[in-house]
Chain A
Amino acid sequence: AQRVTQPEKLLSVFKGAPVELKCNYSYSGSPELFWYVQYSRQRLQLLLRHISRESIKGFTADLNKGETSFHLKKPFAQEEDSAMYYCALEVGGAQKLVFGQGTRLTINP
């Protein structure tokens, strides 16, 4: 069965410190993985997708098929990064998303 696990519900770091949000997945097919973000009082929005291999707002994520992980990283956290982050796996012909439980990231000044 397909599953996404985000082991940390809460993560708090100081401004300027590195950030890593963990995501592990379970899927028998070829994984397509995404990170979605929800800022306070805003809707869920795409942050980045693994297939693009891009950096958005200083965040990167590398797909590690051996470890079945897709951790989100940023070298220097900023206060505006405080938000809820969801890792998601795209499955099936419907391209529906299976989400993790989410990690609430708080950046302290």
Chain B
Amino acid sequence: DTGVSQDPRHKITKRGQNVTFRCDPISEHNRLYWYRQTLGQGPEFLTYFQNEAQLEKSRLLSDRFSAERPKGSFSTLEIQRTEQGDSAMYLCASSLAGRAENEQFFGPGTRLTVL
């Protein structure tokens, strides 16, 4: 499968713990996006990278959240001191900048449950 992959697919953690998610985009894609989706809602933009540079962050992304894309390939999203409100599906998407179509390809998501 050459699509976007995410790991883990499910994560259950206790409030106050730190968690880290990984996203591997489609190999030639230089743009990588993180979205969060809560029950009954559409995905909400969190942050985006072009190559290794983090170019935009949503106000939804509190200082407990940090994302990296150190070599312009895979990305990690870390949540520190998790809260029950962080429970959601975290989606990663990638695209190729410069293409008029700019289709974003989504991964399967990581479902986080904070107890």
- A99 at interface, CB cutoff 8 A: yes
Known: A43-B106, A46-B104, A97-B104. A102 touches B42 (CB 8 A): yes
Binds A, one of B15-23, B43-51, B71-79: B43-51
Contacts between the two chains (Cβ within 8 Å), count: 52
Interface residues on B, range: 20 to 34
Contacts of B100 in A (CB 8 A): 51
A97 touches B56 (CB 8 A): no
Nearest-CB residue, chain B, relative to A104 = B40
B56 touches A92 (CB 8 A): yes
Chain B 39-71 interface 0/1 with A at a Cβ cutoff of 8 Å (1 = within): 011111100100000011000000000000000
Contacts of A95 in B (CB 8 A): 31, 95, 97, 102
Nearest-CB residue, chain B, relative to A49 = B101
B: residues with CB less than 8 A from A are 3-4, 31, 33, 35, 40-45, 48, 55-56, 91, 95, 97, 100-109
